[in-house]
Structures are given as C-alpha cells and as structure tokens.
Amino acid sequence: MTALPKILTVVQARMGSSRLPGKVLLPLAGAPLLVRMVARVRRARLAGTVGVATTTDAADDAVAACCAAHGLPCFRGDALDLLDRHYRAARHYGADVVLKIPSDCPLIDPAVIDEVVGFYLEHEGRFDFVSNLHPATFPDGNDVEVMPLAALETAWREAHRPLEREHTTPFFWENPDRFRLANVAWATGRDYSMSHRWTIDYPEDYAFIGAVYDALYPTNPTFGLADILQLLAARPDIADLNAHLAGVNWYRNHLDELKTVDASQTRKM
C-alpha cells in the first residue's frame, strides 16, 4: 500500500485587521475563535498536521501565546508575504503537500476539507493545485486549497506581483497554462458562494458566527454544513445578521489585476 504524503494544513492567522481587530482571538463558545476553528479542521481525516502560521510582528505574540497555551503548532513568518510564510512553514514541518485554510473560516466543515484533499490524493501526481474556489460553490467560509510542495516552491520562486505574495495562491489559478488545476464543486449542484457568508471580517460576521455556535455547539459540537443550513432555515434572524455582506471578498479590490476573476464573483460594500 502506498504511504500517504506528509500533509500540512496551514491556518494563517494574525491580530491585525482594519475592520475587526484581534478577530482570531475573540471568544467563541468559551474559547478563542482560532482554537475553535483549529479543532474543526483537526476533525478532518486528511488534514495531517494542523499548524497556525502567524507573523513575526510583536502584535502577533498574542497569537503565538494562544497556540502555546492550547498546544497548537505555530510558525512565525513575514507579515505581508503569505506565500513566503506558507512555503517556509512547509519546509519547517517537512511537508510533501500543503493545505491552505485562512483563519477567518471558523464554520468550515471538516467533511469539505476531506472531500477536496481526497480528490487531490485520488489523482496524486496529476494536479499542481486543487481547490473548491475556482469557481466557488460552497457557502463562503469553506475555503480549501491544496498543492504539492514542489508547486508551492515554484510559486514562491517566481511570483512577484504583490497580490500573488499577499494572497499565496493566485500565481497558480492565474496561470492555467502553466499549472494543472482542478476544482471541486459542491455535489448538490447549488452555488451558495455569493449568498451564504460564513466567514469573519466584520462585527456583523462575528455576531452571525457567535449566534450559530450558541445555537448548535452546546448540544452538537461537531455540527457541520447541513446542520448550519437547517438552523438558518429555521432561524432567518440569524441569517439576516450579516446577509448584507454576502459576496464581499478581497477580489473586489483587484478586479483590474486579476485575469480569471470577474465582477460576478465579488461585490463591493
């Protein structure tokens, strides 16, 4: 039986946020949001080693301290060059495959992680980059991107545009002629990527995520995507908390720079 490659899941986290400072350490069901999220990621069978990648800025000493207190592996690197941070974390932990998940996804479903990583492993050697974001179909906040170390090293060496360094993976999906790309779509055939916002970047998002945890976590700490959808159908008041932000993402500030993303995939405030 062929041994599985050594997988490293990198959860990128920092204290700096112009819209919601310190969001990764905000309390969520009695623990820091980052701790709750890492616990969800760790429930994925194929997540491998799950580590937090924060920055060397003094402000992120708090993130490193949180990781130490909760026994979470933590790597510290460049504040703005996330491509460099991911690559160096991969080398530090001796990874063969890197799984990228941002820390603003505290409702991510471990089953979605396993679906995307499972697809990569089933087709190992055939793809340089597999995600569920190009095009996105799952509710926003279930972001999974997978790449072998060799491909990540190529991007690390050759990507030069600021957005390619800051956002880690655009060098892959912006160059489909150079890389073998694959996308995993939601099996339901639905597209909730612009209508269901389960990520955190604004106070309203924190209110939404807190309400979901308050409703589900006490009786079902392993709740998943289907449980959240069922809750929102029964409690539209929760869905309304951040509904006006649905579709708002980082693409909106880079439409003039991106070749493979258009205005239908983002929305301005």
Q: What is the pLDDT of residue 184?
A: 98
Q: Which domains does the chain have, with CATH numbers?
A: 7-192 (3.90.550.10), 203-245 (no CATH)
pTM for the whole structure: 0.97
Strand order in the sheet with 145-148: 74-77, 49-55, 7-12, 97-102, 145-148, 129-131, 181-183
Percent of the chain residues topping a pLDDT of 90:
96
Buried b (16+ CB within 10 A) or exposed e, 238-263: bbebbeebbbbbebeebeeeeeebee
In this prediction, the residues of the chain whose per-residue pLDDT falls under 70 are 1-2
